[in-house]
Each structure stands twice: as structure tokens, then as C-alpha cells.
Structure 1
């Protein structure tokens, strides 16, 4: 009997010690080395990021257009463009093909066939939400090297990224990469088939990017090293032809094989179909053969029709994909040589274009014949 208290004391001590050394299940999970490793892996996992891009076709400013934009203080094109502004400022990046150099009044304004555009056109593109202008086209040298340098000076003054024409060799070697806060960086390249017979000076061969497969291959390779995706502007094709020719298709295939993500085409001044082109590595490239005229003084019916191509670029780890192409049809209205305005086609009235609904359906079928999933914005 006298040993019972001692035994009871020992049993209580052992039980208390065991309780003090025991962790709850949740504490074990928190302190487990394997669980800590799992948490670290989750911390380094990156969710997919995504941006959106808009692109517009030829901005071809004839004298009748800038004369219509003249004010007592210069030139103002915004009243002509206000209806499309919401569709250009709603994406991460917006690009435009400024076909005429914005050399300004000091060089003498002019229209067809040798264009020189008021600098205010550049200001207004900036106001519209444009972030990048492509400048390599058949009118790049209309005012010679002086026209290019004057235009570049203005683009730099307003902080607009430009590509395709350059002020120096060093400038031409600097591939333009637009960095986004979403962590997707886009390289922009621009090339033209020629410059209307005006020779690029041998001593200044950097002035305009001409379509040269060897040069393009080098530039694309470099662009891919310093960016996540490459968007290529090509000024090519036959004017006023609604379908891409064989040379266009072969050149587009060449760029797809090099891993370009998107090609935006210009020069025909009318819309051409859109399609996916598969590269030799199995990659899929969005090919927009011709965006037509976005804003011009050309008065033929089909030359008034243009549009805005939109698409998304998704980056998941190291994989980049172009997806969700969609299109907004536009139309340039005017009263003779006055009252020029770019209007989303679905907002037209029968007074502005009697059969606009029929025209829309015809253009939808034309654009999507190789891309049935192409969506249209209305």
C-alpha cells in the first residue's frame, strides 16, 4: 500500500512529459521539411499573363484630308477620328501604319504622289491611344532623308515608338521592344517592298528597311532573343487586289518558319483575308495580309473600307500564344473633299451608306473565309 503514491507520481510525470513533447497535426505539417519545400515551389509558380493588341491599316493623308483638318491654329484631325477612339485605347498596345511621313509644314505639305503630312497627325494618333507606328513603306522617301529625320524628330518629341525608318545606323540597329507591365515584351519590325523608285542612298542605307530575307532573318533572330513575341509589319502585295498573291503568301510563310508571331500587311489599300499560318517548327502565326486603308482621301468604295484587328498574346511560363483574333470594320465617309470621318461600320446610317449592313456581311465573309472563328466587333 505504501508504494501506491510513488507509482501514481511516476505515472503522472510520464504522462505530462509526453503531452509536452507532442505537436498537433497542423504543427507537424507546418514544420515538416517536405511541406516547406512544397510551399517554396508554390511561391515560384507563375500564373499565365495576357495582353491585348490593336492594329490599324494605312494612314494615308492626302492634301484634301489635311486641308479639311485645317484650323486657325494649325491642323486638327481628331474630329474625324473621335468615333474610333474607344476601340483604339482599350488594348495594352495599339499600332498604326503611318504611310505618309509627318515632316511638317517646314518641308512643304503635299499629297499624292509625293506626300508630306502635318505633324499634328502624329499628335492625334497619340491622342487616339496609338503606341507604335510602322513607317517602312513606298512613300518613306517621298521627301528624302530630310523628311524621315524631320518625322523622327517629331515622333521622339511626343514619345512615340517608331520602326521601319531610322535617323542613323545606330538607330536602325536598335530593335524596338515594347515592355508591358504584364511582363510580356513585344518586338516590332517593319519592312517595305520598295520606295517608288527613289533609291535609298548607299551612304545612308539604314534610312528604310527594305524586304531582304537575309536582313529580316537576322533581325527576327535578334528580336526573338530580346522579347517574348515578334510582330512584323510588311508593306507588300498588289494595290487594290482583294486577295494576297503568291509572293505575299511565300514571304508570310518564310516569316512563320522563322518563328514570327504576327504579320500585319499593308499597301493593297483594300482588305484581304486573315489566316493562321503554321511554321516549320509547328508554331502558329496570325497572318493579316492587308488591313486596307484606315484613314485616307481615296474615294473609291472599297478603298474607304478598313478596320482594326485585335488579338491577345498569352504567356504561360516560356510558352507564348496568340489567340482570340477579332475585327472591327470601319468606313471613311466624306462629302466631296470635306467632312472626312472614320466611322465603325456598324454605326453607319443608311444616309451615310445605303446598304451598309449588306456590305458588312460581305466583308465579314471575305475576311473570315480562311479563319472561320474570326469574331467581329459590333
Structure 2
């Protein structure tokens, strides 16, 4: 009798174990994560329940700290405080889910010596105060990336990590450069890429070939292909074009159209130090991508000829799963003009242009919207 009881118990245990394994496997199948598909204004088949989510994204232009700007921020104890300069626009920056800045002067810190044009280096406090103003990610690929060498880049990237700010375009190591920048917000995965036309003639160090991304159309396309598997949307930063020109060059337009057709959903441009318009582009798949050719200066010591005018570029990213299809759409672009005011090279403030000069605000809006209102 004892042996029969043991055999029966063994058979019962095998049945229970098999049933448990069946339901465990079945449960895994039902709870697998949503796939990361590239679907910007594309339709992608899927097998999941109806779902809709939306993210607001914004970007600002050049944070380029001339000595007159960082000296204005200097405190009696030797620290720097940029908060008063940003106070007038914080409410507009903090309302969006993800906000990006173009940090054009490297944030190498005071230990290596602050410096201004033509070789910039900025204090760490600008990173802290941008974070406080709502900045989540900074673009670091520009013509000033190597102004103060690899030390400034390493200092900046280490400090951004300390602050919890994502950076893209310049890197502290090969592994860092090979790590995709993807921010996941409200069920939408947004991938960021960044490139510059050059580094003011400063060669990329042979021992650090990864330090900054250069504009190379084939490389960008290949990078976007890799990013597709990890992202719903791809945002590409480009430091390009000609300084102080209010319209993009033919080369800018050609590259933008090529990238739109190869996976870029939003292209954000910098370098001209003045604003260049926003435009919808055919993405070759029945939808549209969006480019803002230049966001101008956001905070700098430059004045006159539109160099003190920048703004906040906004766009919404909508992801909808409906009837076994996923559709991601870029929509509702908008722009809020800003201006840097000062008095005798002090009291620098970024302010909403509408509050300073309503007529000029309307002029800037007409300039930025002229190609999307056609």
C-alpha cells in the first residue's frame, strides 16, 4: 500500500507540474511587450488591443555662452547662476514631455578654465540650470565640440550623466558612442541622432574617432536603420548650413529630403545662429516628416540682425493601435519666438518675444510658418 501511494503521488505531481508549465508558457505569450516598430505616418500590422497615446516634444536652439553671458551669471562666491536668465521661459519649457537643447559651448567646467569665442568652454552650472528649466536631452555635435579638446567633452558628458540629462552627438568612449539614445515616454520610444558638418578645422583625434558624429549621408541612413528596431520615432539633429542666413541652402534641403525618405521623422537644425523656417517633407511612404532648418540662438551674447532671436519648437507625436494596425503621426508643429535682452552687457534674460515686441513676434511667426501654411 505504501508503494502504491508513492506512485500515485508521483503521477499526481507530474500532472500538476505539466499543467503549471502549460499555463506559464501561455501566460508569457499573452504578456509579451509591444514591439518597437518604425511607424511614423506609416501603418504597421500587429496583433494587440486598441491603444492610443501622445507625447509632446520641444526643442530650443543654441546655448552658446560668450564671456559676457557667463560673467553676468557669476556670483560673489565664484559659482554661476543662470536661473534668472531662464526664468521668463521656464513655464513654456516645462509643459512638454521631452525638451531638447543645443548645447553649443562645451560644458567643461571651471577647472580647465572658462573661455569664449572662438574657443568656448562653459561652467557646469549651465547644465544644472537647464535641467531645472525642463531640459531632458542636449545635442553636443557642433563646430565647437572640440574647442577645448577631449577633456572638455569628457567633463561635460560625465556631468550630464551626474545630472541625469541625456546627451547625443559627442561621446566619452566607443561604448558610449555605440549606445543608442532612446527615451521612452507614455508608451512611445523616441530615438535621437546627431551630427555636425565640421569642428572648425580641429581634427578628430586618431585615438578617439568616436568623439563626435560628422555629417555623412550614408552613415546617417545606416544609423537610422539601426535605430528603427528600437524606436517608434527618430529625431535627427543636424549642425549644418551657413551662419547668419535666414534660409536653408540647397544642400540642406537635399539632405533633409533624403533623410526624410530614409527614416527621419523630425529633423532639428542648428548653426546659422538665426531662425530658418519649418517645412513638411514627403517621407516616401504616404506620410510626412518635419524639419525645422534652424532654431537660431536661444541664449548667447550675440545681438542684432536676428541673432538675439530664437524660440521654442513644439510638435506632438501620436501613436495609435487600432484594428490590428499601428500608426504613429507627427502633428501640430508650433513655434514660440524668444529674444535675449540685456543692458550694457549685463542682465541677460531670455524672454518671450511677444512680451517685448508684438509686431516683431508676428514677423518671426510668419517667417517660421511660411512653408507650412502654403
Deviations 1:221-264 (A, max 9, x none): 11111011001100001000001010100110111011211000
| Contact kept in structure 2, 1:141 and 1:198, CA below 8 Å | yes
Distance in structure 1 (CA, Å) of the matches to 2:355 and 2:101: 22
TM-score calculated relative to the size of structure 2? 0.85
Distance in structure 1 (CA, Å) of the matches to 2:65 and 2:367: 26
- Against the structure 1 CA distance between its residues 71 and 202, is the aligned structure 2 distance closer, same or farther, given a 3 Å change threshold? same
Quote the offset at 1:204 in angstroms: 1.1
Q: Does 1:88 align with 2:88?
A: no
Q: Does 1:320 align with 2:321?
A: no
Equivalent residue number for residue 349 of structure 2: 341
Equivalent residue number for residue 135 of structure 2: 130
Mean Cα deviation higher: 116-125 or 213-222: 213-222
Which secondary structure state, in structure 2, belongs to the residue aligned with residue 314 of structure 1?
Answer: strand
Higher normalized contact order (CA 8 Å, seq sep 6+, divided by chain length): 2
Which secondary structure state, in structure 1, belongs to the residue aligned with residue 207 of structure 2?
Answer: helix
Q: Does 1:261 align with 2:265?
A: yes
Which secondary structure state, in structure 1, belongs to the residue aligned with residue 59 of structure 2?
Answer: strand
**Alignment length, in residue pairs?**
323
Q: Does 1:162 align with 2:163?
A: no
| Contact kept in structure 2, 1:264 and 1:289, CA below 8 Å | yes
Q: Does 1:111 align with 2:104?
A: no
Q: Does 1:331 align with 2:336?
A: no
Q: Does 1:294 align with 2:298?
A: yes
Which secondary structure state, in structure 1, belongs to the residue aligned with residue 209 of structure 2?
Answer: helix
Distance in structure 1 (CA, Å) of the matches to 2:58 and 2:296: 15
Q: Does 1:69 align with 2:73?
A: yes
TM-score calculated relative to the size of structure 1? 0.84
Equivalent residue number for residue 199 of structure 1: 203
Which secondary structure state, in structure 2, belongs to the residue aligned with residue 174 of structure 1?
Answer: coil
Distance in structure 1 (CA, Å) of the matches to 2:194 and 2:265: 14
| Contact kept in structure 2, 1:177 and 1:188, CA below 8 Å | yes
| Contact kept in structure 1, 2:221 and 2:263, CA below 8 Å | no
Deviations 1:17-39 (A, max 9, x none): xxxxxxxxxxxxxxxxxxxxxxx
Root-mean-square deviation (CA, aligned residues, Å) is 1.2
Quote the offset at 1:44 in angstroms: 5.2
Quote the offset at 1:213 in angstroms: 1.5
Q: 2:245 aligns with which of 241, 245, 254?
A: 241
Unaligned runs of 5+ in 1: 1-42, 349-355, 374-378
Equivalent residue number for residue 366 of structure 1: 367
| Contact kept in structure 2, 1:51 and 1:313, CA below 8 Å | yes
Which secondary structure state, in structure 1, belongs to the residue aligned with residue 229 of structure 2?
Answer: helix
Q: 1:278 aligns with which of 279, 282, 300?
A: 282
Distance in structure 2 (CA, Å) of the matches to 1:264 and 1:84: 20
Distance in structure 2 (CA, Å) of the matches to 1:53 and 1:280: 23
Distance in structure 1 (CA, Å) of the matches to 2:278 and 2:124: 32
Unaligned runs of 5+ in 2: 1-46
Deviations 1:19-70 (A, max 9, x none): xxxxxxxxxxxxxxxxxxxxxxxx9522211010110001110010000000
Quote the offset at 1:279 in angstroms: 1.8
Quote the offset at 1:338 in angstroms: 0.4
Equivalent residue number for residue 102 of structure 1: 107
Distance in structure 1 (CA, Å) of the matches to 2:205 and 2:218: 20
